[in-house]
Structure 1
Amino acid sequence: MLPTCLRIHLSQTSRHLRHALQCRYYAEQSSPGETQRIALVQGASRGLGLEFVKQLLDKPNQRVIATCRNPDGAADLQNMQSGSDGRLDIVQLDCTDEKSIANAASQVSHSHQHLDLLLNVAGILHVPGKMSPETALSRVNAQNLLWNFHINAMGPVLVSKEFAPLLAKAAQVSGASKDRPAVIANLSARVGSISDNELGGWYSYRASKSAQNQLSKCMAIEFARRKQNIAVVMLHPGTVDTDLSEPFQKNVKPEKLFSRQRAVDQLLGIIEGTTMEKSGSFIAWDGQSIPF
């Protein structure tokens, strides 16, 4: 329990300031010499992003920064924060807005010395009543392409750009090494593989995920060339029971439709086993490599 003087002071301050004071208090209670591992989940208000936050918080000595476009409307995240013992921060970030990304990075850098993991989870496949995957060339249009590329391809690389300095500091702060580097994990999809494409369709989504993979590969090569212990991996979670996949689940075999809990558990296992040798890899939920 918090000391009486701190509890009284907390009751007189705003919710955001209360949380900041709690974070500081619990950080001061950590064992001497023990560095908390820090993960940032971009796109954390629902679906896989929310589940990543939940499972990361279940790990000992782990702090989580959850970002989303509208923190005030993210009730599930706020509830998690209330029960997190000060280990969860919620930060506003819109991955389609460069200023918003820069502001989020500035805010995080003022409260945290480093990052061990950046998870780019936000993605788009369909917008009810406005956009759905194109099954024919005749259905392709500029708006669909822009939406998909903006969120699925541009978002992860722009977020990675702003938070890379904090990931680079993991070597000094938490001992990131070639065998246990800081990690950028971008949620991709098998349909982004060009050589694996035998069905066609889904033009904008496929292309945006292919672009995301190329951008991620470029980052992996650059970090290695600079001898920075930051690994970049692209992860295919399989077909997961979320709002993203719900309209397209009818032809998915039950054993191939994963729960959010299973999918995130599998992906975190891959992330935890990532080394610099694996940087630049496109990996499926079962650990198998996917051809580009």
Structure 2
Amino acid sequence: MNEFRTITVDRSGPVARITLNRPEAANGLDRELGRELGQVASYCADDPELKVVVLTGSGRFFCAGGDLKAMAAAGTDVGEHLKALTDDLNDAVSSFGRMDALLITAVNGVAAGAGFSLAMAGDLVVAADTASFTMAYTRAGLSPDVGASYYLPRLIGLRRTQDLMFTNRVLSAAEALDWGLLHRVVPAADLAATVDELAETFAAGSQVANANVKKLLLVSSSHTLEEQLTREASFIIHAAESPDGREGIDAFLNKRTPNFGHSAAGRH
């Protein structure tokens, strides 16, 4: 994972840190960045030893969304350009959403358009107090992509989603937290250290338990109560029978800190 040009990837044990690295273009999503993000997300999803992935941006922006200059340069081939770009970005979001590892999005600055959508894909979303959020699509005559219409109504409801998408209003980090879009806001100078601490905490936790939580929440809104009860029962049985489950139960009963391994969570 060291051959990328538009992102950087740092791996430390069960933690991978991905940084969008086009600061001169506000980390705008062009074809190359989309392709590389899709590739690295696939690598992360296929890595059984990975427990945590951190996604952030370099410079002042988290991600300003799709690169409009690249779209304009595509001319009459803009449809083909966007088809390739959205295919790669959709693959990335799907891989991040379905991988066993937890995704922490560390929003270091402006998150606009598809950058806003990417930020919302995190299992934990932490923002600098200087960050801001805007959809911005309709201002450019475009409609949302990269999961915005999936995540936002589930997070904040239809009316607030309509407000964001139709008016392109800009939310401060504090407002985004109040709306329920974020898990926490920290001083900009503390963002990296805060996210690193969270990543280490999750890296020491149970991959099986965390992966099961992700899978349960991903389908909860589309299942009936009975279907979800059945799925929950299957998952807790799987967890209890796993090395993590046995270790966790023993540690709890003996009042000690559990020592969870890096075993894969398995598929359901």
Please report the TM-score for the alignment, with normalisation by the length of structure 1: 0.29
TM normalised by structure 2 equals 0.31
